[in-house]
Structure 1
Amino acid sequence: MRCRPGVVYREVPGFRPLELDLTEPEHAVATVLYLHGGGWRRGSRRTPLPGFEHLADELAAQGFRVATADYRLSGEATFPAPLEDVRAALEFVRDDRPLLVWGESAGAHLGLLAALTGEPESATVDTVDGVVAWFPPTDLLGLPADRHALGAPPEEFSREALLLGAAPEAVPELARAASPLTFAHAGAPPVLLMHGEDDDLVPAAQSVRLADALRAAGAPVETLWVPGARHRWAGADPASVIAPSIRFAHAVAARSRR
């Protein structure tokens, strides 16, 4: 097992160097790029979810080459800057193995966008072999209404507004360009969407909507709704969400190697 912390994968003039930590077991079956959450405004590759501190080690023990990457936050640069960073990280870790992107919340949103949009000039060229998306925002224009439906008060400066540089309704075209839902298409890579049924920060309706759109397009998608779980898997047993995610990743890796 080789561990390489603090590898610079991208340098953008005027910004901090962007780094990732890379764990490489012998005879890895696939590469996983893991993206942290934090509402696009906080967090880092070294601030794991409570109860999930050893996820990268567990993935490596399961035979995955694992990269955990930082990206620019909304206080540093607005969209599409973090998506550009994720695309650069994917290219940096790409080798001849199957490649998956795995993210939580904002990280899942960016991973889905990268997987569904491919290269900037094309919305149909996929860049990864599979996606594990934990409680992702998928429809930025619909997010306020989804929260309101659960009784959440309106936010003057929401996380998605900080990401976009304006409220989604004020920049609807940009909000659609920043929404994975916009890019559901038949050629999408396999996606696993997992969401807590009691998530009131990013309601499960966000994953339901994307799953419906992917199925309607004929794309492969699996869903798992976790009863009693809130955002960031609060109230969930970590093993109950890690195990199906790893099974999905192994299935993607096996299918991609054929």
Structure 2
Amino acid sequence: MDDPDFLKKTYMQTTFAPLILYTMGKVASSSVSNAILDAGIGCYDVHFLAQDRITSLLQSFFANDDFPIVPPHMIRSLQAYNSLRLNKEVKVISLLREPVSRNVSSVFQNLPKRLAGDQEAILERLRSNPPHWPDVWFETDFIPSMGIDVFNADIDPTKDVFRFRNGKIDLLIVKSQTADRRKEALIGNFLGTKISITRENDSSDKWYGETYSEVMANLGVIGSEYVEKCLNCRYFKKFYSLEERRQTAALYGHTLSA
């Protein structure tokens, strides 16, 4: 049956509650999504919602014999995309993390075990990882999908939470470094229910934990130029106060004047 109204109703009946946790990778989203699911609320935890991005990723999976099935994270993106298009009201939660640790964590997430302890090889991988990738994600995925130009919005960067509204989309953005108890209160109030966050997917608990700690401790010396580029990310300057940015820079041996 090709009746568009019938197909729309069918999709609506098979769609979870309209709640999407939509973040760039490596911002501790799994802890929040599991807390929401534990509270009995359906939630899609996704990193991509832009139609072009989803289409490109699906094509790459279908063309690669190493991926005979669509990975679960892509299925979630498709479901969230349908939910965003079909539901009348959609709540969206996003998280922010300062760019240096986010980018380093992204590199370690895909690090081969053979490179454990090889700081130079890891640094080379870091240098090849675009320091402004979070900005690109905002510009090509988040802003087009949400229809909210956060870069030109009037916000107070000294805050740890930001609220936006665009038609059916009710958007909450929270800084990842916000204390878990406050994060629970902020998100719980947004959802109208209590949640309890338990830390998960922590780098220190993984096989590369020791090497990760060593690289982070020495990054101001071995990766000074890369750190500086990260600190110039547009989203970092938009959402983080000068004091927060100075504190982050100091962690990696840098000094910010403005």
State whether TM-score is above 0.5.
no
Larger radius of gyration: 2
Taking structure 1 as the reference length, the TM-score comes to 0.30
More strand by share: 1
Q: Which has the higher contact order (CA 8 A, sep 6+)?
A: 2
More helix by share: 2
